Amino acid sequence: MTVHVGARPTLTGHDAGLEGFIGDYVNAYMAATRAAATIAIMSTTSPYKSQGGLGRLRNALKFSLQGFKAAFQHEAAFRQELLLAVVLTPAAFWVGRGAMQILLLISTIVFVLIVEILNSALEALADSITIEHHALVGRAKDLGSAAVMLSLLLGGAIWATVLYLRFH
Q: Angle 123-139-69 (CA atoms, 0-180°, nearest 5)?
A: 10
Our answer to whether residue 19 is catalytic in this structure is no
Catalytic residue among 92, 105, 116, 144: 116
Residue 151, annotated as binding a ligand: no
Residue 49, annotated as binding a ligand: no
- Count the alpha carbons within 13 Å of 45 in the hemisphere toward its beta carbon: 4
Residue 80, annotated as binding a ligand: yes
Contact at 8 Å (CB) between 144 and 118? yes
Q: CA 83 → CA 40, 60, 77, 92, 113, distances in Å?
A: 45, 25, 10, 14, 11
Residue 16, annotated as binding a ligand: no
Residue 81, annotated as binding a ligand: yes
Using DSSP's 3-state secondary structure scheme, residue 15 falls into: coil
Residue 14, annotated as binding a ligand: no
The binding site for a divalent metal cation comprises 75, 123
The binding site for substrate comprises 56, 77-81, 116, 145
The binding site comprises 56, 75, 77-81, 116, 123, 132-134, 141-142, 145
* Catalytic annotation, residues: 116
